[in-house]
Amino acid sequence: MVTLKNQTINHMKPQLLLSLAFLAFTSTFYGQDQQRVDSLVGTLKEQVDEERLLTLRELFMEYLYVDPKLAKPYLDEGIQIAQQLNDTSLIAQTTNEHAVFLLVNSNPKDALPLLKKALELYRLLGNKERESAMLNNMGNTYRSLGDYVSSLESHMKSLKIKEEIGVDSEKMAASYWNIGNSQGDLKNYEASTAWYRKAEVIYDSLDLDADYYNIRYLIGLNLKDLGNNEEAMSYFEEAIEYYKKSNRHNDLAAAYDNLGIIKMQNDDFDEAEVYFKKSLDISKNYGEETLVAVTMRNLGVTKYHQGKLKEALELQVKALEKLEEAGARKLMIKSHLHLSRVYHKLGMLEKALESHKKYAELNNEIMSTENIEKINELEIRYQTERKEAEIALQQEEINTLNERAKVDRLTKGLYAGGMFSFIAVSGLLFFGFRQRMKKNHIAREKQEEIYRQEIAHKKKELASQTLHLVQKNTFIQELKENLENIKASPEKFKTEFRRIVMLLRKENASDKDWEIFKTYFAEVHNDFDQKLKTLYPDISEKEIRLAAFLRMNLTTKEIAATLNVLPDSILKSKYRLKKKLRLDKDTDLNDFLNSL
């Protein structure tokens, strides 16, 4: 199964392949719409060649994620037409589509050579954007095969090409998504979540619901692995509602599987069994064999804990057979481990030992320290190359400025000779005038020094007031957390609660604090808030406050602490402010605010 995330082999994740970059010929979200399908089938009757191929591709995509078996005839005819037309671009395109079909049907081993062929064809055509897309697809295929070093290397190459050619933010988000997958595979859940969050912000700003709910589902998986099951449940439940509405059958099955895992972790094995069976019913009907295998394995673990060992053994054996057939090597790791435990419990010690050896060998091969170090090196290399490119660009600008300076000096030298005579004659006349100017200059410098001292004082006051707000609200947040702890001890809670509430009321950042801050800020920054109101009459006081903090160069975390909200809320507010200011995607919000 091609999935978005397999952080541990217990996980299943949405089957929405590799976001838009996996099938980079389109950015449209496909899900089978019978009215649209009927219309497309009707147009096929009179179409030939490229026009027919385009319609075949749309029909292929309509069925691919809903019922892959129905998508296959449209794919086969499309491949045949591309070969008959002998068009390199069309052959590359249908080769990629064939690989995607194999990946959806859990056959990464056969998909990889097709992707390599498509990559070479696009390189031959000089199509950098499609080259990036094929590297992205290969990265996900390597990942399915358990080759995480090659996977991350492909994704980093894809991201680098995107940065070079300047693709839109949606395509950048696809790379952030896939790199987050790679970090999750290595159990670097916090790093993985950081990459996912970058993609989440983009999808939210572009109102791309399909990608937004899938990326939040993945964040939920990370939260589960970090032990935050309650918050993870809320992410899964919102994704389930979306998958139901949009007929994303395999994604829904994967979500039920993960809810079952959470129930199992809480020792609620009967409830876990209900979710696993729901997942199996869906995945069996829609042909996702790897998902079927993993859910079988998880159901087998439930049976093991319920003491139903024969059922557990049967499920674990079937699950391992399916995973071996699909070549899903990473998923096989824990299957061997669970099988070993069942054999041991049944007293079949030789088989238990054999299964455990296979588990250890495969685990060492795939999750070795050497592989993890290679992956970390790839990411460090990527960040270093970005810095080097920035430095090279700056050096080029410096060289350009130096060349201009040389030309300016030469021009000035040519003029110098002609000007000398004029200056000599004018010198005497200028001398008297200069004496008067000197007196005025001294007086002006004294006045400017006074102004500088006043501004410096106001800046200190502003910085002090800003720090006061940050520290005050940080204190409030910590105090609220202490309140939660006190709740666990009723005897402490009763005596301390009223006093803490009174303290919170006194210490909370009030409107008066904001008015004081705003006064200092306006004096230092030349009535910044009035300028914003003049340019954007519909801007709110809350948005002006955020703009002021951004102009002060406060970090998202510091602003969140000041306003007593989560950092995610500040990120969303920044995107809304950017829309309110009608800035295009290439304009940096902080730079714009500093330019006012």
* Tens of pLDDT, residues 374-392: 555 555 555 555 555 555 5
Interatomic CA distance for residues 184 and 191, integer angstroms: 8
Which residues are CB-contacts of 195 (< 8 A; sequence separation ≥ 6)?
176, 177, 179, 180, 183
Which residues are CB-contacts of 285 (< 8 A; sequence separation ≥ 6)?
249
- Residue 16, number of CB atoms within 10 A of its CB: 25
- Residue 545, number of CB atoms within 10 A of its CB: 19
Mean pLDDT, residues 480-491: 61
User: Mean pLDDT lowest for which of 131-145, 289-303, 352-366?
Assistant: 352-366
Report the pLDDT value the prediction gives residue 86, as an integer from 0 to 100.
Answer: 93
Residue closest to 181 by CA, chosen among 171, 173, 193: 193
Q: How far apart are the first and last CA of the chain?
A: 52
Q: What percent of the chain has pLDDT over 70?
A: 67
pLDDT higher than 50, residue 242: yes
pLDDT higher than 70, residue 69: yes
Interatomic CA distance for residues 218 and 13, integer angstroms: 7
pLDDT higher than 60, residue 81: yes
Mean pLDDT, residues 485-504: 58
CB-based contact 214:16 (threshold 8 Å): yes
For 359-419, give the DSSP string: HHHHHHHHS-HHHHHHHHHHHHHHHHHHHHHHHHHHHHHHHHHHHHHHHHHHHHHHHHHHH
pLDDT higher than 60, residue 148: yes
User: Mean pLDDT lowest for which of 58-72, 220-234, 554-568?
Assistant: 554-568
Interatomic CA distance for residues 186 and 62, integer angstroms: 34
Interatomic CA distance for residues 135 and 138, integer angstroms: 5
pLDDT higher than 90, residue 16: no
Report the pLDDT value the prediction gives residue 484, as an integer from 0 to 100.
Answer: 62
Mean pLDDT, residues 170-193: 88
Interatomic CA distance for residues 174 and 155, integer angstroms: 10
Report the pLDDT value the prediction gives residue 407, as an integer from 0 to 100.
Answer: 55
Residue with more model confidence, 18 or 48: 48
Residue closest to 574 by CA, chosen among 528, 596, 542: 542
The tally of CA atoms less than 13 A away on the side-chain side of residue 445 is: 6
Instruction: Set out the domains of the chain in order of their start, with CATH numbers.
Output: 371-501 (no CATH), 525-595 (1.10.10.10)
pLDDT digits (tens, 9 = 90+) for 532-581: 888 888 888 888 888 888 887 788 887 887 777 778 888 888 888 888 88
Report the pLDDT value the prediction gives residue 499, as an integer from 0 to 100.
Answer: 56
Mean pLDDT, residues 490-509: 55
Q: Phi then psi for 11, rounded to 5 degrees?
A: -85, 145
User: Mean pLDDT lowest for which of 72-86, 139-153, 242-256, 407-421?
Assistant: 407-421
Q: Secondary structure of 298-334 in the HEC alphabet?
A: HHHHHHHHCCCHHHHHHHHHHHHHHHHHHCCHHHHHH
Report the pLDDT value the prediction gives residue 392, as an integer from 0 to 100.
Answer: 53
Residue closest to 62 by CA, chosen among 48, 77, 74, 80: 74
Interatomic CA distance for residues 211 and 202, integer angstroms: 10
Report the pLDDT value the prediction gives residue 131, as an integer from 0 to 100.
Answer: 94
User: Mean pLDDT lowest for which of 8-12, 379-383, 427-431, 524-528?
Assistant: 8-12
Task: Quote the pTM value.
Answer: 0.49
